[in-house]
Structure 1
Amino acid sequence: MNEIMMRQDAAPVIQSDAERFELIQRKAKMWASSKIVPAEYRNSVADCTIALDMADRIGVSPMFVMQNLYVVKGRPTWSGQACIAIIRNCGRFDHVRVVYVRDKDGTPTGCRIVARQVADGSEVSGTLVTLEMAAAEGWGPKWRTIPEQMLAYRAASFFARVYCPDMLMGMWSEGEPEDVERNRAAAPNPFAEPQAIEAPQQSASIELSELQKEQVTFDAID
């Protein structure tokens, strides 16, 4: 299975070799004509070419990229399970574990990825992602419906960004584009022009009326 998911003999970047780029394009035409590939890639030679390029760069099968890469909010986004699969199969880690933190009732409240680095045998741990963090950041509705799954997905994304960011190629993972867009829409604009504060008209009229009464009183005394 590892040979299918992650190839250790990844080819060089295709843009560095014109002949190889032409070969990839010919392959992309074959992939685009297939009925097995996801609908987004059918009859799209350009998208298939990009998918094959990405597969070459990170050493995975083209089908893995096509099945796990989506465009959300205008940005290419990895599926949640893709991050976990990349960590497990990139060859840099072994003994990869999804570790949950649970409350006294056994309900998961947090999650982190723990693994051992093949290079030196040291154990590394990813950021602990918690439901409290999700609530504070205002993350989406899936955190209420499938919290255990979302904890694992986000924990894998955080781990990969620290220990193998090149494998994600700078892309977000499932749920992140929506969360960022939601927070951006809710945040105040720090560069917005301050609005002028107008004095309340009613208060001004009341104060003027009081001054007029005082003036009348003084006139009567004189």
Structure 2
Amino acid sequence: MQQTTQLTALKNNQLVSTPDVKVDFFSKSGFELACRISRAFATSNAVPEPFRQFNEKKDKQGNITLVENPSAIGNCLVAMEVANSVGLSVISVMQNADVIQGQLRWSAKYQIAAVNASRRFTPLKFKRRNLGYIKAKYKEKTDWNNQLRKFNYVEHEVEIENLECIAWAYEVDENMRPTKEIVQSIPVTMQMAVEEGWYAKDGSKWQGDMRLQMLQYRAASFFASIYAPDVIMGMGRSSEEARDIIDVTPQSDGSYSANVNLQDLKSTPDVGDIPSTRESVDPETGEISQASQNTEQAVSDGLRDETPGESGGTVLEQPTQQQTRQRKKVDLG
């Protein structure tokens, strides 16, 4: 009956409407559409290099060759899923993404946009203050110690202006109206930047005029990790935070590779494990009350740089031939 109706409509030059297919990663037609869109994005030179199917590479003579990026389609699919989950455009997701250590990371400003777009809070604001000049210490990795099988470290001390930044916002009610209840990140200070190793890294932006911007980015990233982890789920650390923690080198396909042994990296506690503050705004002054002593102690204890142990990185030694023969005898009974 339906076929007869369609044939009659075609004979009468009437358009037969068909339902539109939407992107859906868990249906055949929806996933095929997502792959077609991803292939279209991958052929564009208006998207960043991690999402392009072919990227230009220059040799020492200045000759340009095209290098295929096998991860382009997959990266585009990931960007589409992230854009769908946070309610922002696919292009904005791509423009703010980096590939670091084989993972897509998004910039801090994109995480701020995602938190603001969630409308769970009022737009993020930042409270800054100057805590005065202090002396802070950090450890710099030097040469490899064959005897101890680890890198040697030299301790340095710098005198810095200890600036502090806190990201905060008002909570909103079910009618999207701001309340007097506020939420705020843990304090991010220049002392933390030094002791965590962000300050002394090659190409660090913490030493120049960008330090105020970096403080805001890091405070916003901490805020999002604590109060809106579901909004930034899948983004991991921000691009800026990942570069501060790991030494990376840009690659020809737009990604970044680590150039240090991961066992030599100090362990940093997850931001979600650090207590945060939830305080009320003073109705008369409108100012945020100071963080409690317990929170400051938790920040001091949880984010302080640790001295590398004497054992250093773990090195697996190959068994000798005699040990191998003994093991075979034991296995054979």
> Normalising by structure 2, what TM-score?
0.49
Query: What is the total number of aligned residue pairs between the two structures?
Result: 181
* Residues 1:69 and 2:97 aligned together: yes
* Residues 1:163 and 2:227 aligned together: yes
> Normalising by structure 1, what TM-score?
0.70
Question: Greater share of helix residues, 1 or 2?
Answer: 1
Equivalent in the alignment of 1:84: 112
1:44-69 CA-to-partner distances (Å, cap 9, x unmatched) read 32221221122112221101110111
Equivalent in the alignment of 1:152: 216
Equivalent in the alignment of 2:39: 29
Cα distance, 1:150 vs. partner? Answer: 0.8
Cα distance, 1:119 vs. partner? Answer: 3.2
Question: Greater share of strand residues, 1 or 2?
Answer: 2
Cα distance, 1:126 vs. partner? Answer: 1.2
Which secondary structure does the structure 1 equivalent of 2:230 belong to? helix
C-alpha spacing 1:97/1:142, structure 2 compared with 1 (3 Å): same
> Aligned partners of 1:89 and 1:108: how far apart in 2?
32
Q: Which structure 1 residue ranges, 4+ long, deviate > 4 Å from structure 2?
A: 189-193
Which secondary structure does the structure 1 equivalent of 2:76 belong to? helix
- Asked if the contact 1:13–1:57 (Cα under 8 Å) also holds between the matched residues in 2, the reply is no
C-alpha spacing 1:85/1:95, structure 2 compared with 1 (3 Å): closer
2:264 counterpart (170, 185, 200)? 185
> Aligned partners of 1:88 and 1:46: how far apart in 2?
27
Cα distance, 1:137 vs. partner? Answer: 1.2
C-alpha spacing 1:184/1:90, structure 2 compared with 1 (3 Å): farther
Equivalent in the alignment of 2:206: 143
Cα distance, 1:108 vs. partner? Answer: 7.3
C-alpha spacing 1:95/1:70, structure 2 compared with 1 (3 Å): closer
> Aligned partners of 2:191 and 2:164: how far apart in 1?
8
Cα distance, 1:84 vs. partner? Answer: 1.7
1:102-123 CA-to-partner distances (Å, cap 9, x unmatched) read 3579x77011111112236321
Cα distance, 1:179 vs. partner? Answer: 3.5
Cα distance, 1:131 vs. partner? Answer: 0.5
Cα distance, 1:13 vs. partner? Answer: 8.9
C-alpha spacing 1:191/1:56, structure 2 compared with 1 (3 Å): same
Equivalent in the alignment of 1:18: 28
1:132 counterpart (163, 168, 191)? 191
Equivalent in the alignment of 2:166: 112
Cα distance, 1:184 vs. partner? Answer: 5.5
C-alpha spacing 1:100/1:184, structure 2 compared with 1 (3 Å): farther
Higher mean alpha-carbon deviation, 152-161 vs 109-118, is at 109-118
Cα distance, 1:161 vs. partner? Answer: 0.3
Which secondary structure does the structure 1 equivalent of 2:124 belong to? strand
Superposed counterparts of 1:188-207, under 5 Å: 188=309, 189=311, 192=314
Structure 2: runs of 5 or more not aligned = 1-21, 54-71, 134-160, 248-261, 266-307, 316-333
Equivalent in the alignment of 1:58: 86
C-alpha spacing 1:13/1:130, structure 2 compared with 1 (3 Å): farther
Identity of aligned residues (%): 33
- Asked if the contact 2:185–2:223 (Cα under 8 Å) also holds between the matched residues in 1, the reply is yes
Cα distance, 1:36 vs. partner? Answer: 1.8
- Asked if the contact 1:73–1:177 (Cα under 8 Å) also holds between the matched residues in 2, the reply is no
